[in-house]
Amino acid sequence: MSDFVTLTIDGKEVKAPVGSTVLEAAKIAGIHIPTLCYLKGINEIGACRMCVVDVGARSLQASCMYPVAEGLKVVTNSPEIRESRKVTLELILSSHEKKCLSCVRSINCELQKLARDLNIQDIRFEGEEQNYPIDDLSPSIVRDPNKCILCRRCVAVCKDVQTVSAIETMDRGYNTIVASPFHMPLKDTPCVNCGQCITACPVGALREKSSTEKVWDAIANKDLHVVVQTAPAVRAALGEEFGLPIGTPVTGKMVSSLKKLGFDKVFDTDTAADLTILEEGTELVSRIKNNGKLPLITSCSPGWIKFCEHFFPDMLDNLSTCKSPHQMFGAMLKSYYAEKAGIDPAKMFVVSIMPCTAKKFEVQRPEMAAVGYPDVDEVLTTRELAEMIKEAGIDFVNLEDESFDHPMGEATGAGVIFGATGGVMEAALRSVPYLLTGKDPEQVEVNSVRGEDGIKTAEVEIAGIKIRAAVAHGLGNARKLMEKVRSGEETYHFIEIMACPGGCVTGGGQPIQPASVRNDIDLCAERAKAIYQEDEASTFRFSHHNPTVKKFYEEYLGEPGGHKSHDLLHTHYIARENYPEN
């Protein structure tokens, strides 16, 4: 039996794989069919009816769900089809909140673009505009049901990809709404603040809780020393906000723009990623040698940490006690750096630029205050940084490259790869041999933990010890892996988990690409290229070679895993409830 079928689309003969849909076959043929609710691999339910085509049936069919068949004849463009799509879109628009100029997704709104593409000039129907309360109680995510078009992409990614199910469609007919169970605010649900719902949303119904005004106020306050640090994934995606190709590394321009915005110092979170490896690697070695709780699981992803607190509270002792890198850096800035620079930490304001909305939740955790003040004061997403750059009128694309400030700006290639799934594991496996034997491994790259498989495993032998490692990205994959570990089906020494599918490069705070791009381009792979390019070009590629980190220990911390390190750089976790009983 052939693996392909032959069908005709708009008079054009097309060969398509068996099991594919008419929408996929049309794409092979270079024929465009509009979509709205469709998001490849996440939401393929035919709910919006924008992709309808004529397949000779009694009614028009949703091409995103209709399977190809030998000899099938498809029409994608006819007066009936165009009218059906226009009527459907006008009905959606009739009850939609039309505050486009002040909407966070203006210009980058899929509904807006579709209305333009379908030449919607007037709306023939007058619907009752929704008037729901906005849920802005979460520290990370704002939910505005008045902008929701019920595409269900957010529901699909939360339920099927992340397996959190913090939101769901409720009620029926015209009263259908996407909401949390019992209409609770997101902050009172097991929402892990990962923000994948935001990047899936085609409109402005979901957005991050903005901190830009607080940061502008801090910069303008002459009594404050305002320091900013940037995560590795930010440099791999920020350029997209200014029209640069996906995956363009913009480290130098990013630093230059931050200095122009008025920050007193611009530092690289990668420095603290190297510090994390020394602390976490030492913790792993200690647990292996002293029969401690295994597997040790990384703690860099705050979305994953909250997920574990809700769904695997019995395994909290398996989590590394290390703070995430930007929290470590905040603690070092308000202690070591403050002492060196003669600055009162009470007068220091630390801003983290992150690809992650969950970091906004993390900075508010009361345990993240090593010296009596919050380690980090505010978190901006990559998108928020782009907003500030545009607001300031900075010509980002034509900026001259600048370097991070010293003495806290030194980082290694091992630190930068934290931005991609498998990066923390690879960085650790580069340094654990040194921590065990005092010698560097011969091979720098650990390719077995790279790539986009949902769960990856590796086994390395160091000093006669076989270390079994696993990597999972996306919380659905994390759940599968954790259930196997919990049941005893699998045993490992070390596990890396990132909440977001693809890791930080596709975090919930990264530039939003529409479905038309996401369906064709692997954002994770393209952005990760920038991460690995910077690693390969780095002077130092082992975290334990970082001169700045060495100085931290020599001048201030003492030794990895020591008393002072634990006071500043380590934390604890909290078992959390899931939904209340009905």
Q: Do 284 and 421 belong together in one domain?
A: yes
Q: Do 99 and 59 belong together in one domain?
A: no
Q: Which of 20-24, 78-82, 206-210, 452-456 is least confident?
A: 452-456
pLDDT at 50: 96
- Indicate the SS3 state at residue 275: helix
pLDDT at 246: 96
107 contact partners, CB below 8 Å, separation of at least 6: none
Q: Over 3-43, what HEC string results?
A: CEEEEEECCEEEEEECCCEHHHHHHHCCCCCCCCCCECCCE
Residue type, 218: A
> Is 289 in the active site?
no
Please name which of 468, 422, 428 lies closest in space to residue 448, comparing C-alpha atoms: 422
Q: Which of 15-19, 280-284, 377-381, 542-546 is least confident?
A: 542-546
Domain of residue 97, residue span:
92-208
> Is 484 in the active site?
no
Instruction: Give the pLDDT mean for 385-404.
Output: 97
Contact at 8 Å (CB) between 272 and 326? yes
Q: How confident is the model at residue 581 (pLDDT cuts 50, 70, 90)?
A: very low
User: Is a pLDDT exceeding 90 seen at residue 231?
Assistant: yes
Contact at 8 Å (CB) between 106 and 112? yes
pLDDT at 275: 93
Q: Is residue 578 part of a domain?
A: no
Q: Is residue 579 part of a domain?
A: no
Q: Is residue 412 part of a domain?
A: yes
User: Is a pLDDT exceeding 80 seen at residue 311?
Assistant: yes
Instruction: Give the pLDDT mean for 83-109.
Output: 93
Distances (CA, A) of 502 to 13, 74, 350, 421, 569: 36, 36, 27, 5, 26
CATH number, position 320: 3.40.50.1780
Chain mean pLDDT for the chain = 93
Q: Is residue 576 part of a domain?
A: no
> Is 367 in the active site?
yes
Q: Do 288 and 383 belong together in one domain?
A: yes
Q: Do 466 and 563 belong together in one domain?
A: yes
Q: Is residue 371 part of a domain?
A: yes
Instruction: Give the pLDDT mean for 55-80.
Output: 96
User: Is a pLDDT exceeding 90 seen at residue 198?
Assistant: yes
Q: Which of 309-323, 345-359, 369-383, 544-558 is least confident?
A: 544-558
Q: Is residue 82 part of a domain?
A: no
Query: Beta strand 61-62 with 52-53: parallel, antiparallel or unpaired?
Result: antiparallel
User: Is a pLDDT exceeding 60 seen at residue 582?
Assistant: no
Q: Do 70 and 135 belong together in one domain?
A: no
Q: Do 493 and 400 belong together in one domain?
A: yes
Q: How confident is the model at residue 1 (pLDDT cuts 50, 70, 90)?
A: low
d(CA 545, CA 548): 9
Q: Do 268 and 389 belong together in one domain?
A: yes
Catalytic residue among 208, 241, 280, 384: 280
d(CA 34, CA 114): 8
Q: Do 177 and 326 belong together in one domain?
A: no
Q: Which of 45-49, 99-103, 463-467 is least confident?
A: 463-467
Instruction: Give the pLDDT mean for 372-377.
Output: 96
Distances (CA, A) of 132 to 97, 129, 176, 441: 11, 10, 12, 58
Q: Which of 54-63, 78-87, 169-178, 191-200 is least confident?
A: 169-178
Contact at 8 Å (CB) between 364 and 352? no
Q: Is residue 86 part of a domain?
A: no
Q: Do 473 and 519 belong together in one domain?
A: yes
Q: Do 185 and 59 belong together in one domain?
A: no
Q: Which of 66-70, 117-121, 376-380, 438-442 is least confident?
A: 438-442
User: Is a pLDDT exceeding 70 seen at residue 25?
Assistant: yes
In degrees rounded to 5, what are phi and psi of residue 134?
Answer: -85, 130
Q: Do 56 and 154 belong together in one domain?
A: no
Contact at 8 Å (CB) between 208 and 144? no
User: Is a pLDDT exceeding 60 seen at residue 377?
Assistant: yes
Catalytic residue among 367, 483, 536, 559: 367
Buried b or exposed e, range 338-374, using 16+ CB within 10 angstroms: beeeebebeebbbbbbbbbbbbbbbbebeebbbbebb
Of all residues in the chain, the percent with pLDDT exceeding 70 is 99
Q: Where a domain ends, among 77, 106, 121?
A: 77
Catalytic residue among 97, 283, 496, 534: 283
> Is 490 in the active site?
no
Catalytic residue among 359, 360, 410, 534: 359
Catalytic residue among 299, 320, 538, 565: 320
Q: How confident is the model at residue 434 (pLDDT cuts 50, 70, 90)?
A: confident
Q: Where a domain ends, among 152, 185, 208?
A: 208
d(CA 112, CA 120): 10
pLDDT at 125: 84
Q: Is residue 416 part of a domain?
A: yes
> Is 283 in the active site?
yes
The predicted-structure confidence for 28-44, as pLDDT tens digits, reads as follows: 999 999 999 999 999 99
Q: How confident is the model at residue 429 (pLDDT cuts 50, 70, 90)?
A: confident
pLDDT at 205: 97
Count of domains forming the chain: 3
pLDDT at 464: 83
Tally of residues, the chain: 582
> Is 168 in the active site?
no
CATH number, position 63: 3.10.20.740
> Is 209 in the active site?
no
Q: Where a domain ends, among 161, 187, 208?
A: 208
CATH number, position 159: 3.30.70.20
pLDDT at 535: 87
> Is 504 in the active site?
yes
Please name which of 277, 535, 511 lies closest in space to residue 420, comparing C-alpha atoms: 535
Q: How confident is the model at residue 394 (pLDDT cuts 50, 70, 90)?
A: very high
Q: Do 526 and 394 belong together in one domain?
A: yes
